[in-house]
Structure formats: C-alpha cells, structure tokens
Chain A
C-alpha cells in the first residue's frame, strides 16, 4: 500500500468513527424516535462507535424504566444485541427499528 492509499484508508476509518446513525426503538411504553415522544430529553442518534449498553441506558431514561432488577434487552428482530458491542458491529443503519424487551421479576 502506498502513502496515498494509506491516507485514504485512514480517512475512511476516521469517517466511520464520527458517522452518526438515527434509528428507532419500540418500547412497551411507546416509540422512541427523532420526533417521539415529544418531550424526550434525548434522541436516538449516536456515533456508530456507541455501545449498545448506552442506548439501553438512554431509552430506559426516556421512558422511566428505573427498576434495576428487571431485565432490559435490545433486539433487532430475533437478534439479541449484546450490550458490550457497538452499533457499528451490528451495522445498524438509519431508520432501523429496534425493540426494547422488558422482563419483570419472577414470583
């Protein structure tokens, strides 16, 4: 690889790091999007390097899922998104619809 090619690859990587994706999350208390809910303090737009766990924390905050002992999982269809992985690793694109699954306690 010559210097010009190395430079191009570096620029491409840098662009990937700052790329922002805007997606949607359906929760049991409503949809989180760039417009809903109207009074949301955060919106689902993130650098692709963001970890799934941050998205879960934010959507919980928006919809006031404060209970620590419930199980919160982010899904894309049937696929469980692992909290420690990034949005980029799942190739999350603009307008993708994710699901916040909420499980209560056990009796």
Chain B
C-alpha cells in the first residue's frame, strides 16, 4: 500500500510552519529547501551537549500513512546510517528506535518485529504519541542535547 507523493507533500506543507517555528525557537537548523513531491526529504541539524553537530534526514515517502525513514547523515548528505554519524544513546543497530522511524520496524530490517507500520502513531511505552514532524524534532532534540560523543 502506498499514497500519492502529492498527498505526502501537502501533509508536510501543512506541518512545516509549526515545525519551522519550533526549530527556530530551539536554535535548530531545519532545511526544507529541496522538499518537493518528487523529493520528500527534510534535513535537521542538532547539537549534542558538547556542541558537536549531527545531521538528520527525514525521508517522508508515503507519509503520513507510514512514518518517515529517519536517519543520521553526513553534513554533505553523501553518507548515511553509519555508526560514526550517530550520537551516543541510540540503538546500536544503529537506529533511532522509535515508532516514528520506519527503519526501526522488523519488516524494514529494524529491531522491532513486534511493531506494525500502520500503528506508528501509537505511543512508545507510556510516553506521548509522536505523530507529527514537530514532535519528532522535539524528541530528537531532547535526546541529542543530553548526549555526549559519537557512537563510533
């Protein structure tokens, strides 16, 4: 099952003003300059407790039917998903092990065979349901600003 890229694009366009306002207020750099229906990718730069920068890609194909694929990438975006691009504190796969990340699901090769992609808006544990781009940004921001160092 999939949805039209135009639907994903319009959903993101609807969510972006709040996500951009949040990122700006939190001192994060959200880059949506290449976002289009043909290229459903957004980028976010965050810093850990030592001021070291990390770069996250949100690949939003089929969003919001399915969650985005959320991955750490290099500053020039040519390298992705390697341990040295990850801050400490994430799953050693390496993976951002949250329901809002498509990569975390067993059916996509991730560690969670117990999750179903269609249920991605459910909360993890007893926490809040992270069901918007802005909440994903806030969750990542909260985790990374407390971390120190890289995974490798």
Q: How many residues of B contact A (CB 8 A)?
A: 30
A20 within 8 A of B: no
Q: Is the CB of A68 within 8 A of B112?
A: no
Q: How large is the interface on A (under 10, 10 to 19, 20 to 34, 35 or more residues)?
A: 20 to 34
Within 8 A of B (CB), among A85-105: 97, 99, 101-105
Task: Tell which of A28, A68, A70, A71 touches B22, judged by Cβ atoms closer than 8 Å.
Answer: A28
Instruction: Please name all residues of chain A whose beta carbon is closer than 8 Å to the beta carbon of B124 when the two chains form the complex.
Output: 104-107
Q: Is the CB of B138 within 8 A of A65?
A: no
Q: How many A-B residue pairs have CB under 8 A?
A: 80
B118 within 8 A of A: no
Q: Is the CB of B128 within 8 A of A102?
A: yes
Within 8 A of A (CB), among B94-152: 97-99, 104, 112, 123-130, 132, 134-135, 137-139, 141-143, 145
Which A residues fall within an 8 A CB radius of B?
26-31, 65, 67-71, 73, 75, 77-78, 97, 99, 101-107
What are 20 A-B contacts with C-beta separation under 8 Å? Answer: A28-B132, A28-B135, A29-B135, A30-B18, A67-B123, A69-B125, A77-B27, A78-B145, A101-B26, A101-B141, A102-B128, A102-B142, A103-B127, A103-B142, A103-B143, A105-B126, A106-B97, A106-B127, A107-B99, A107-B124
